[in-house]
Amino acid sequence: MKLKQILQSLARQNYGDTRIWIVVFILAAFSIMAVYSTGAKLSYGNRNSLGFLFSGHVMFILLSFVVIFIFQKMNYRIWGRLSNIGLIIGITMLVATLFLGVSEGGSKRSIEIFGHKIQTIHFIEFCVVIYLSAWISKAKDKINDIKHVYLPMLAYVLFFCVVIMTQKTSASLILGCTCMAMIFVSQLKSKYLFATFGIAIVIFSIGIAFLMSDAINTQAENKIFKRLTTAKVRIENFSNKENVHKDILTTEAAIACSGLLPHPGTTIHSNSVQESYSDYIFAFFVEEYGILFGTLLILMYLILFYRAVTIARMMPTGFGSYLAISIGFLITFQAFTHICVCLGIAPATGETLPLFSKGGVSILTTAAEIGILINISKEADRINKERLKNSRKKQTTGIENNIVEETNNIQHE
């Protein structure tokens, strides 16, 4: 088969939103470039050599495309029907992580299976988001039933946010904001919506006050509060700028040393940062590939969010619409949390850059989310085409009726 015939055959296939695919390809290409550069310091090790790191990351990037391809083929409504099972799986993984997970830096974010560490936090967030999307879509205007729908839903969100906060504060904040975004676009009445935001601000303020109080210091040895102590230290260091961690200073210096255009192979700061290929990868990507490519990277996440909102607006009010919004917001908010840390305008969080930083399950989870979003885009495109077809049909029918009416008038005269 000739190349032209192959391209025509591919064009006839419906692979969903083309712009999302372009964003994914650009992120994947940039990711490989960035990990190759920032992972060079590991070439001095044994098993964690540059070749092992690079080949492992490329493997996960390629596997992520397989995951996207599979999930974009599956009808997104399946996830709504399986949301209850997903919730059970999410709760089970959360409990397993809390009690059987591997402790790293005072927190438990992963479980060990056959000698491999698997991070579960992002997968748990995904399960929560799917379940809440299904809940809101089924409730419709009944979400205004305060006692039986609204308050139980808030209690459900608060439970997961509080439990996740004990292990990863930033992940709890990202999940909470994503849930608030879904509630914002729901059929909740304005007065309840403002009340929800008010309650969220009060809870957040109380949480910050508790976090910064001496009560956290007295519970420093308690496993539940140990991670909160770390969050407190990070916020204090960010506020007074006196005891800023060297990693933060190094990332800010890396961005300050960057130019407008790319200069591959010129990074000098990444070797000084422990997690340069994950938690701070944006800074070193900008250092090596310039502000222009860094701006382009930010633009990719903005385009992804814009397409998610556009897809949600084209969908009828329902599960697909809420799920598209939640996926777009979840990925983008995490990305900008990471970027803000690297720019020095937010305290250190340990959040990776979605589909960009070196990772395993986190990359595959993001790939699954994007695959579902692409599948929703197919349905949105079909609905949009039907609307245009019906609109043209009505216009044609109207023109024909006008012609018939004018003809009858002429004959009558």
Token couple for 71? 């999930």
Give 393 or 199, the one with higher predicted confidence: 199
The mean predicted confidence, pLDDT, of the chain is: 78
Helix locations, 13-150, DSSP H:
18-38, 50-73, 77-81, 83-100, 121-139
Q: What order of strands is seen across the sheet that includes strand 107-113?
A: 102-104, 107-113, 116-119
Q: What percent of the chain has pLDDT over 90?
A: 18
Q: Please report, as a single letter, which amino acid is at residue 21.
A: W
Q: What percent of the chain has pLDDT over 70?
A: 72
The residues with which 104 forms a beta bridge, in sequence order, are 107
Helix locations, 241-318, DSSP H:
246-256, 281-314
* Cα–Cα distance, 234 to 305 (Å, whole number): 29
Token couple for 313? 């607006």
Q: How far is CA 50 from CA 42, 56, 118, 364, in A?
A: 6, 10, 21, 22
Token couple for 219? 């519970």
* Cα–Cα distance, 196 to 202 (Å, whole number): 10
Per-residue pLDDT at 306: 94
CB 254 within 8 A of CB 286: yes
Note the pLDDT tens digit of each residue in 197-232. 888 888 777 777 766 666 555 554 555 555 666 666
Predicted confidence band of residue 396 (pLDDT cuts 50, 70, 90):
low
Terminal alpha carbon distance of the chain? 65
Note the pLDDT tens digit of each residue in 325-376. 999 999 999 999 999 888 888 787 878 899 888 877 889 999 999 999 999 9
- Reduced to 3 states, what is the DSSP secondary structure of residue 110? strand
Note the pLDDT tens digit of each residue in 281-300. 888 888 888 889 999 999 99
Mean pLDDT of 234-244: 67
DSSP of 324-342: HHHHHHHHHHHHHHHHHHH
Per-residue pLDDT at 10: 44
Q: How far is CA 306 from CA 25, 37, 192, 282, 353, in A?
A: 17, 30, 27, 21, 18
- The DSSP bridge pattern shows strands 102-104 and 107-113 to be antiparallel
Token couple for 39? 């992972």
Mean pLDDT of 26-34: 89
Per-residue pLDDT at 303: 95
Token couple for 120? 């579960």
Token couple for 379? 């349905």
Largest CA distance in the chain: 98
Per-residue pLDDT at 47: 46
Per-residue pLDDT at 164: 82
* Cα–Cα distance, 121 to 351 (Å, whole number): 11
* Cα–Cα distance, 31 to 39 (Å, whole number): 12
- Non-local (6+) Cβ contacts of 234 within 8 A are 245, 347, 348, 349
Mean pLDDT of 139-147: 83
Per-residue pLDDT at 381: 81
* Cα–Cα distance, 149 to 113 (Å, whole number): 38
pTM > 0.95: yes or no: no
Per-residue pLDDT at 212: 66
The kind and range of the H/E element at 117 are strand 116-119
In angstroms, how far is CA 125 from the centroid of its own chain?
10
CB 130 within 8 A of CB 323: yes
Smallest CA-to-CA distance from 293 within 251, 263, 335 is with 263
Give 137 or 359, the one with higher predicted confidence: 137
Per-residue pLDDT at 11: 45
* Cα–Cα distance, 170 to 174 (Å, whole number): 6
Note the pLDDT tens digit of each residue in 51-107. 656 667 888 899 999 999 999 988 999 998 888 898 888 888 888 877 777 766 666
